Structure 1
Amino acid sequence: MNKRQADLLKKLIVQDGYQPLKYFSDAFNISVKTISKDLDEVENIINPIGVYIERKQGSGIMLYYTPSQLERLNIILNDAKAFDGNKDLEHRRTEILLNLLINTNEYTTIQKLSDKYMVSRTSINNDLNEIRKSLDKYNLELSRTLKGTRILGSEINIRKAWVFTIQEYGKINPDYITEYQNIRHKELNINEISGILNVKSISFFENLLNELENKLKLVVYEPYYTNLLSHLVIMTKRIIDGNYIDDKTGNKDSMLSISNELYNSAVYLIKEIEKKFDIKINKEEVAYIYKYLISIGLSFDDNKKDIRGSDPSYIHFTKDLIDIISQMSEVNYNLRIGLYNNLSLHIRSMLNRIRYNIQIKNPLLKDFLKEFKEDFFVVKIACFLICKKYGFNMINDDEVAYILSYFISEDEKIAEAVKIKTVVICHSGYGTSQLLATRLKNAFNNIEISGIVSSNSINKIDLSKVDLIVSTVDFDINQSYLMVSAFLNEIDRENIKNYIESILRNKRKSFLKDDMKEISIETIGEKNDIKRPKKFFIEENLIHIEDNTYVCLTGDRKNSIREYLPEKNRAEKHIIFINYSDYIYLSKAVRLLIRKRL
């Protein structure tokens, strides 16, 4: 008997009267089908002692037992608790975490969780403290206010945490994979591909991929899911129309199977499609789908083989990329725990996509270009250098944005560790100000109280070295400050949070601001000849910036930026040459260029 089944038995023992199965499925946040299976398991255990579950049509179910049998039931529950031990605790915390990740717009309370899992409020508090720690690696925050508890953070980080947790826990509780699939279905934009095949046919492909996920006990998350779904739809449509892949290398690649599980999965997908549409699909298509599967980040043990093969190039690629971006950003990302492991998993899948020319779309690309423009092009330049070094084709902007997300996540963690020097001001400087200071420190880990003063003494302290001024009274100073209540209500906390984020953004934007003055861009007019080797004008040596503008890198050990303007009536590329002696100068040059042009 697992933990949920034991909890179900507890609920049956204490319930009065009949209750429908839906009542229990809602209480445990699982399907009616799963509840029925749990009831069968519970009955197998309790029937030998004479206890049974009566099912009454139209009323529901009810547990029948005598007072003497209740003691036997308690022994069964204690045995189940002893058997599961730490597993029950781990499962409960995982379920709480998943429910918080799935319902980020809703608050839950300790009492609700205590009632649901039939444990004390202290146990739930301990669970939430552990969940808070586990969220740190995703740069997510567990917010606990008077309204209740919920998770705060960027959508991309919430998705990462959600998918990773489902990947781990879905092997034990497949219902969470189904939960993920249901939410994904609501978000899926069928209209984008409904013009290829009808909606009914597209539903077939969606169900087919769901079955594959359930079979593998894994989820294919975005954007890989939409890419794979679209590929299957397009492939089927083209075969129906008489078009086939005619690639002799495709079949050869399929013989180099590095994951029997995934290759068999590709075969399974093909056979189901053949049956549904009464078509014949050749082996080259199987190989191509297999390439998709090994390029979408799936990972599990398959006879102790790595589904991405034994090619170590991703190791060197990842290490060199972190090194270059560290130098260009003047932040030692090599010291960031977990970055290499997480990024290397992504790089392995990405290199497979490069090899097999599989393109993915990043739905957040425009957001990255809008909010992190300079950082985006710094990472793009770094990726170009590494791809060049190892002989890979340059990755597209969608892939660059995904790589950037890992470094942004680290930057956010670093920013959280930066102490915000704060001065608290009240009418008297005592009493309520002490209360406010305590509440500020409890609410914000990165706030450092630099002083607690009365409004009359504000002129006696140096505010130039203060990041944040929080006051309970209105007074006249040149610097901006936030008015709050001494009790620091929810609105106050939200305002302070936004203000701190603004401070951290400004600190980040000031990066290299002053020492960029020494850099200038030399503009070469159309009358000047471009005395550069022709190799610099080859497409693969150019980095696209915008429209018809490109950057060309040359390591001449002499720092300079030269912008060659094309003739007005000629459709030539607008090329900007950056000579650099080190990565710090290269970073400054790129940032200056982006600030001036975009």
Structure 2
Amino acid sequence: MYFTARERNLLRLLISQERSHTVKELAEELGVSERTIHRDLSVMEKTLDGFGISLRKQAGVGVSLEADPTGMESLRAALTRTAETDFTPEERRTYLLCTLLETSEPVKLTVLARDLGVAPATVRQDLERVEDWLQPFDLVLLKKRGWGIQVIGGENNRRAAMRSLLADHVDEATILELLKQSLGRKAPEPSGIVMERLLGLVEGERLIQVEEAIQAEIGRLPYTLADSAYIGLVVHVALALERIEKGETLRFDPDMLQSLQQGPEQEVAKKIAARLTAASGKEVPESEIANIVLHLRGAKRGDDRGFWFEDGSGTPVEGTRELIQRIREETDAPLEQDPSLLRGLLAHLERAVYRLKENLPIHNPLLERIEADYPELFEIVGKAMAKTFPQYEIPREEIGYLVMHFGAALERRRRGRPLHALAICASGIGTSKLLASRLQTEFPEIVRVDTASWGGAQQTDLHKYDLIVSTLSVEMDEIDYIRVNPYLSEGDAARIRSYLNERRRVGTMPPERTREEVSEPRILESMKAIRKTAEIALMLVEGYSLSPLQEQSLTDVLQKACRRLEAKGVLQDAAAVAGKLEEREQLGGLGIPGTGMALFHGRSKKVEKPSFTMYDLEQPLKVEGMDGNRMEMTRLLLLLAPEKEEAAEQELLSRISALTIEAPALFQSGGEGDIRAFLAEQLNRTLHEKLDQQRSVES
């Protein structure tokens, strides 16, 4: 058990003077706001219960501790044992930023030094770095002797800085779960204290309220949100509510406010605000609703092509082509001949220009790595963007994302034709698709990744693939493959990169595939495949469910889930299928890193039809993650398919497995209706993609 520096000071103050203290007195003594004192007291109540100490709050009198002498002595001993831990310089600066951004009042230098356990001179040095960090957000650090230190700047800029600070230190894929966890005391480490301070920017209960409101309404949009954008929106709205309580609200130009009061985002934003008002009792101002509209418009998925065209907002097609031409002139590479580059840039710039126009913040966690990997290209893209879009000030984070697009295109050209890979796992419907997604993220030149079970791979011409990876040890005569972790570790990526480079060097890549001749039988075969895909997609969506399980062991959980599916006619012999799932778990971890989910999947002759279901566990179970680490499973995801392999079944079940890592927040905490709607939308999109492919074949 440990206490933060401010909590130690607060408790020592309450213990040392045997009287009640008003919240105002405590706030003045510790140099913080009254709201901060209220929050600290609320957080500490549960901890104090463990000492047999109660927190007595009397209106008009104040706050005091009530306990027998034994309990009070135990608390004094704990405070004595609690180390006055040392922070790294980076942790100190993060702590300072949290404190200064959260309050709109000046904070005394001596208070900051006392909280961090360092000399005031050290804090002064740290504040110089803090000033540099705040500068891109147009925030200024005002310092006056005898008065304190205060962040000065616009409310929108302050919120943008808060979001960026969170994003800098907490991965997007896990931020939602981390914020929702209680701020439990697990280890007396400075990093834990700093993380607690970061997560303290948003109260956990408020975050849950916000997520529930957004989750209930975003389905009304004519497009989907990328998972990172969804998480960012939740954090943004939660921060906004915190600031509204402090009387800090946004202001918009009347003309701009009017322009935002139309379109589907306005209706969704109003409904989100109404839910939040009902839950918290705090009215959400029109300016804050407009800000939600801005974030919704700037956060749509890149693969929702056409929405902005239909909406009339327009995508800068000419600007995109001009940008490509400028980079071509500097690199002397025929980039205009790369259709993947054009499509990717159009999707990205569509959102980027909107963000720039509305001055929306953007965070790029890969910026430092991109600048190190592509220093010359970074400079070229920056200058080209300034000439192509002179009306905007382009942030380095935005340039970094564009460099990734151009870097991938140049890499594809340098390495020759696009590559075709095969990912193999036990069933071909689970971890192989997760692996496929990771491969395409890490290696842009791999434009297509097929997935297969080991049995299915044996029936395939393996010589046509440039790369074969497998999560299993398999025997393949005269065919090279690389065994990898399903989550593709850095070591796996390095081995694959070395392997591809060596094959190019010695010239052993398969010849480029030629386009197959289009014929009537092939067209009919394709049409039948599309019909089959539609039938299976409908079966999966209608068969989906999310239900609770109270069993205490993995064996019992799997057997109970399989018995339920047996009762629905999905499978026969529940015990046999459950046993096979346990055997699959022994081959390698099935837990999805960074979540509380595990994806159990398999094929069996006892399974009658493909199925995807989910189960909430009353008792968390320890399982192995795909990265090899142990983790707690709180939600079981179950993918099942008949033993006889159908291409459409494999494609759709694989797509579902990929969605679990593309939208982990939804699958981790979403309700049955929300997830079913998302599945229907995504599988319908897969069906339309097949139709588009068919049209391209016929043309």
TM-score, scaled to structure 2: 0.33
TM-score, scaled to structure 1: 0.38
Larger Rg, first or second structure (1 or 2): 1
Q: Which one has more relative contact order, counting CA pairs under 8 Å at least 6 apart? A: 2
